[in-house]
Amino acid sequence: MGLRTLIVAERNLTVSQLNDYITKLKAARRLIRHREEKIREIYMDIESHLTAIGATGVEDQLQEGVQQTLAALGAAGIRVWMLTGDKLETGENVCFNLFLRLATGD
């Protein structure tokens, strides 16, 4: 069995702060060099100083062999946190889309 866990957190921003982040993100998306690094830096700043307000877990069927691997790692004293799907881009896109929806009021 596997659970997909979602942590819900918040951070209050002023309109000025929000506009500043939007401006920075738009500029970073236009960069030719170091685009991903700059976008990551901005998101790290946006996602700092959050207050956790809840968590949820939904069943997510693991691929074959993953459950046994996680059990073996746990038995060896290794703590495993799986925060996004199989790609970093998945987590980045989810955060980006959520931020844009919050920014535009959608």
* Sign (positive or negative) of CA dihedral 11, 37, 93, 59: negative
More reliable by pLDDT, 22 or 5: 22
**Is 38's pLDDT higher than 80?**
yes
Q: Where do we find the tokens 């819900």?
A: 8
**Domain range annotation of the chain:** 3-104
Distance in angstroms (rounded) separating the CA atoms of residues 50 and 3: 23
**Is 21's pLDDT higher than 80?**
yes
Q: What is the pLDDT of residue 84?
A: 54
